[in-house]
């Protein structure tokens, strides 16, 4: 339910549907690149939204003179995207496209000496590692691994390669399949047999090999271990790293299986010695998520992100540092009531930069190890999505509700940022975006709640506008300055709606107490917070209080279903995407049991568990007798986090109740909608439904 790593989404969007070029009646399909878009007006449409170049994965050369990054463009006719590589100087000059192929190039990284660029591409049929010169010449395949690789990192000395690849264990019950070559049935005897959007048939392991010529196979450092690294479904190569001397690999792993794996978030950091083959667990006894290990530049320390409690996926993300000589571990965020994300060492090893969310924006912070002081570096109406120290500057990507990702250079002394790339400047220059403002609204328990308000382009305060209450998912994901290609606030505003997006109870960025209140209280205070937000805002003279809608996905979809039975006729239209409708069914249908155990309090059959019984008493399906408002239900077949039958149950209930309803069903999408034409269909259906009932 939680979108933990945006890089994964970029990779999926770029590559999941475009591994091989399509053909049209024997002719090769045209190369996908930057579209030549003719806008009919200054108001954004779904087609314009999908024409933006999607920038991701910036990397800077060791001499800090050149930034490497990728941009994905989509073609609606081909129903896929294509990602190419670019380089640019930190001052924004010397922009150069260095690849131009029918294949995606991503996870691009500089070689240690800056003379080569490495990247993954499916050009040979499976995902393999390639290299290229910085000028775009000398393209060469480096690996030839059976079934391909998932990720990689070159050692700091340039002599070794670690890569991740799937390992397929021997099938159980072989004797039962004898003589049945066309049998498709799968037999399982434990959890977790499916995860996120796929059935579990393999594990991702780390392999290490000499990097000299073509790599055909490597040593599996988790040989015969039925565990995965990085962690599915959101973990990436930030969970695996080399030591500066190229002698040790640090990796993240949850060494559990079956029902124990499904109920636990207790991952650990392991150090593997290349010389001895010995593996050491450096976080043993630390019970929550421990992820993203990074060595200090001189190799004497290692930092990582850590959660304290097992089973709680949204616990405070702490920043730990361990002295590898003394083995002393220090939580440098003990008195910092915020999460830490994306840590990065300074070149001198005396400080660590990281990203943290506070009051609905993601900013850059600096930890000084000498005295433990944490300093906020940046401030503004935006989100930074990562930070790379580069001499006297920081290189980062920045987004907002009004602008997709671009690379920026930040002065760490003043916090002032300067754009490096302007990939989407031409389109943005032709569009009028709605004004984004923020206000603090009083809740029913006399708290102050931060709320974003997004106004339509060319807003006229003398007119009255239909207004949407936006319900956030996660459930513990901040309504920050994110830019989405589905839940895009400017896209909603462009259709003539005001959007009210509250940071209700159960969201980070406002202290741990505010964040944790939601656990075990589904349908409780956070629902009152939603109603407080919309009730306060409808007092504005430009809001048409008779034309209110309510929309949301995941936990936001749950919120819509719950409010549909408890809104006292405030709303005239609802839209729920991938929402939980029946919590008792959800407990036994979802794949990650730790989530429902923690958030709902436990199984519905535990009648002595007051928290659990309160959760199930607040299941949206228990209020369906009150439904009287048109509702659009959206769900996808490959969503194993919240299965498609949840949306079908809600739709069926509405129809049987005589409530106007529609069901938008995607047989080939997961918890997200990733394919271009499906994305356009989603947008058109979304606004067709709202316009029908609110205009």
DSSP 625-659: GG--S-EEEEEETT--SS-HHHHHHHHHHHHHTT-
Q: Which residues pair with 662 in a beta bridge?
A: 632
Please, is 196 exposed, middle or buried when counting C-beta atoms within 10 Å of its C-beta (0-12, 13-18, 19+)? middle
The catalytic residue among 554, 559, 615, 636 is: 554
* Cα torsion 660, 665, 671, 676: sign: negative
Please check whether residue 149 is in contact with residue 163, taking contact to mean a CB–CB distance below 8 angstroms. Answer: yes
Contacts of 315 (CB under 8 A, 6+ apart): 288, 289, 307, 308, 309
Please state the φ and ψ torsions of residue 25, each to the nearest 5 degrees.
50, 50
What are the contacts of 103-107 at 24+ separation with CB within 8 A?
Answer: 103/18, 103/19, 103/20, 103/21, 104/14, 104/15, 104/18, 104/19, 104/72, 105/70, 105/130, 106/10, 106/11, 106/14, 106/15, 106/56, 106/57, 106/70, 107/11, 107/57, 107/151, 107/152, 107/237
Whether 554 is catalytic is: yes
- Taking each helix axis as running N to C, give the angle between helix 555-564 and helix 525-537, from 0 to 180 degrees, rounded to the nearest 10: 70
Whether 635 is catalytic is: no
The catalytic residue among 382, 450, 567, 671 is: 671
Q: In the 3-class helix/strand/coil scheme, how is 123-188 assigned residue by residue?
A: CCCCCEEEEECCCCCCCEECECCCCCCCEEEECCCCCEEEEEEEECCCCCCHHHHCCCCCCCCCCC
Record the tokens describing residue 422, joined without a space. Answer: 């302007």
Contacts of 194 (CB under 8 A, 6+ apart): 200, 591, 640
Cis peptide before 169 (omega within 30 of 0): no
Please check whether residue 562 is in contact with residue 677, taking contact to mean a CB–CB distance below 8 angstroms. Answer: no
Record the tokens describing residue 291, joined without a space. Answer: 């992820």
Q: Strands 351-358 and 23-24: what pairing?
A: unpaired
Whether 42 is catalytic is: no
Q: Strands 543-553 and 465-471: what pairing?
A: parallel
Please check whether residue 332 is in contact with residue 320, taking contact to mean a CB–CB distance below 8 angstroms. Answer: yes
> What are the respective helix, strand and coil percentages of the chain, to the nearest 5?
20, 30, 50
The catalytic residue among 197, 362, 597, 639 is: 639
* Cα torsion 253, 256, 257, 263: sign: negative
* Residues tagged active-site: 554, 639, 671
């Amino acid at each position: 339910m939680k979108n933990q790593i945006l890089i994964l989404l970029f990779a999926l969007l770029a590559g999941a549907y475009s591994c091989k070029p399509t053909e049209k009646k024997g002719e090769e399909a045209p190369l996908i690149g930057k579209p030549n878009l003719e806008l009919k007006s200054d108001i954004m449409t779904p087609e314009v939204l999908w024409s933006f170049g999607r920038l991701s994965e910036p990397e800077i050369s060791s001499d800090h003179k050149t930034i490497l990054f990728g941009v994905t463009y989509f073609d609606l006719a081909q129903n896929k995207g294509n990602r190419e590589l670019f380089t640019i100087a930190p001052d924004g000059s010397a922009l150069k496209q260095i690849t131009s192929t029918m294949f995606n190039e991503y996870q691009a990284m500089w070689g240690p000496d800056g003379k080569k660029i490495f990247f993954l591409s499916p050009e040979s049929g499976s995902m393999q590692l390639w290299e290229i010169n910085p000028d775009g010449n000398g393209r060469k395949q480096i690996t030839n691994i059976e079934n391909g690789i998932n990720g990689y990192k070159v050692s700091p000395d340039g002599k070794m390669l670690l890569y991740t690849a799937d390992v397929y264990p021997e099938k159980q019950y072989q004797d039962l399949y004898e003589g049945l070559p066309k049998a498709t049935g799968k037999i399982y005897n434990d959890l977790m047999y499916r995860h996120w959007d796929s059935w579990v048939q393999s594990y991702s392991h780390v392999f290490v090999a000499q990097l000299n010529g073509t790599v055909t196979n490597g040593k599996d450092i988790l040989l015969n271990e039925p565990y995965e690294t990085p962690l599915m479904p959101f973990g990436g190569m930030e969970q695996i790293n080399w030591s500066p001397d190229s002698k040790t690999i640090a990796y993240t792993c949850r060494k559990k299986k079956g029902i124990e794996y499904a109920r636990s978030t207790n991952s650990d950091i392991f150090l593997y010695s290349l010389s001895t083959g010995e593996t050491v667990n450096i976080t043993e006894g630390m019970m929550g998520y421990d992820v993203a290990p990074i060595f200090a530049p001189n190799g004497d320390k290692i930092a990582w992100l850590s959660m304290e409690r097992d089973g709680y996926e949204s616990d405070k993300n702490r920043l730990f540092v361990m002295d590898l000589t003394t083995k002393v571990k220090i939580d440098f965020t003990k008195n910092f009531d915020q999460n830490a994300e994306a840590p990065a060492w300074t070149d001198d090893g005396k400080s660590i930069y990281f990203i943290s969310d506070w009051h609905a924006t993601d900013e850059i912070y600096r930890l000084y190890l000498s005295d433990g002081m944490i300093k906020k570096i940046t401030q503004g109406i935006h989100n930074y999505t990562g930070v790379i120290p580069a001499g006297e500057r920081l290189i980062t990507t920045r987004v907002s509700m009004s602008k997709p990702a671009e690379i920026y250079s930040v002065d760490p002394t003043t916090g002032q940022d300067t754009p490096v790339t302007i990939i989407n400047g031409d389109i943005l220059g032709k569009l009028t975006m709605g004004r984004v403002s923020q206000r603090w609204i009083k809740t029913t328990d006399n708290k102050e709640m931060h709320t974003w308000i997004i106004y339509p382009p060319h807003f006229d305060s003398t007119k009255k506008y239909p207004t949407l209450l936006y319900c956030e998912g996660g459930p513990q994901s901040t309504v920050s300055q994110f830019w989405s290609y589905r839940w895009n606030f400017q896209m909603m505003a462009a259709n003539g709606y005001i959007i009210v997006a509250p940071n209700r109870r159960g969201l980070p960025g406002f202290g741990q107490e505010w964040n944790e209140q939601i656990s075990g209280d589904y349908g409780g205070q956070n629902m009152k917070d939603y109603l407080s937000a919309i009730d306060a805002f409808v007092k504005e003279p430009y809001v048409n209080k008779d034309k209110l809608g309510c929309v949301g996905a995941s936990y936001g979809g749950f919120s819509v279903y719950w409010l549909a039975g408890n809104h006292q006729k405030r709303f005239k239209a609802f839209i729920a995407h991938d929402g939980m409708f029946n919590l008792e069914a959800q407990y036994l249908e979802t794949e990650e049991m730790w989530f429902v155990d923690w958030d709902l309090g436990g199984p519905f059959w535990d009648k002595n568990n007051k928290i659990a019984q309160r959760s199930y008493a607040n299941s949206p399906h228990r209020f369906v007798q009150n439904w009287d408002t048109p509702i659009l239900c959206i769900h996808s077949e490959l969503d194993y986090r919240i299965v498609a039958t949840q949306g079908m149950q809600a739709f069926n209930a509405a129809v049987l109740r005589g409530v106007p309803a529609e069901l938008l069903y995607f047989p080939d999408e997961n918890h997200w909608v990733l394919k271009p034409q499906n994305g356009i269909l989603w947008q058109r259906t979304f606004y067709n439904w709202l316009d029908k009932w609110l205009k």
